[in-house]
Amino acid sequence: MSARNPVKVDQTTVKHLAMLSDIHLSDQKLAKLTADLEGIIKHIEQLSELDTTGVEPTFQVTELKNVWREDVVEEQLPREELLTLAPNRTETAVKVPKVL
């Protein structure tokens, strides 16, 4: 694998990552996390020195494929029980702020 330029993790990058991650960070937290993330990314960057030409990736270790179960109707949790968990609701639905 070809060598890359050393990573540059600045507040713009971290702001973008926070946006991708749906986390509204305060400016103070942004500064702190930028420093942390820079260190962590530098650490994981080590892997770029490893030659993995022709190596297949391992995404899971069980080698199980297509584990099926019987297609039978099972008793599910009642809607009301799940709706009670919602922070805001109507009688039959979860309520969220206006989207459009």
Partner 1 sequence: MSEISKIVDRIKSGATTARAEIEAAIKRAETDDTNAILEIIHDRALQRADAVDSGKITGRLAGVPFLAKDNFLTLDSKTTAAAKILENFKAPLQATAIERLESEGAICIGKTNLDAFAHGGSTENSAFGVTKNAIDGERVAGGSSGGSAVAVARGIVPFALGSDTGGSIRQPASFNGVVGYKPTYGMISRYGVVAMASSTDVVGPIAASVADVELLCEIMAGPDGRDGTVFPDYFETNNNGQGAKKIGLVREFMDEGVDESVRERVNDFVKKLRDDGHTVTEVDLPMAKYALPIYYIVTPAEISSNLARYDGIRYGLRDSKAKTLAEVYGMSRNQGFVDENKRRIMIGSYVLSAGFFDAYYLQAEKARTLLINEFNDLFRKYDFLVTPVAPTPAFKIGENIDDPLKMYMADVMTVPASMAGLPALSLPAGTDENGLPIGVQIIGQMKDDAQLLSFAKKYEEQK
Mask for 20-59, x = binds partner 1 (CB under 8 A): xxxxxxx--x--xx--xx-xxx-xxxxxx-x-x--xxxxx
How far is C-alpha 2 from the geometric centre of its chain's CA atoms?
Answer: 27
The first and second tokens of residue 13, run together, are 């990058």
Spatial contact of 10 and 41, defined as CB atoms under 8 Å apart: no
Cβ neighbours around 34 below 10 Å, total: 19
Task: Tell me how far, at minimum, the Cβ of 72 lies from partner 1, in Å.
Answer: 10
Whole-angstrom Cα distance, residue 84 to residue 75? 19
- Decide if residue 73 touches partner 1 (CB under 8 A): no
Closest distance of CB 92 from partner 1, Å: 14
Amino acid at 90: T
Residue 91 gets which letter from DSSP?
A: S
- Shortest approach of partner 1 to residue 8 CB, angstroms? 12
90 counts as binding partner 1 under rule CB under 8 A: no
Residues making contact with partner 1 (CB under 8 A): 1, 4, 13-14, 17-18, 20-26, 29, 32-33, 36-37, 39-41, 43-48, 50, 52, 55-62, 64, 67, 69, 77, 81-82, 85-88, 94, 96-99
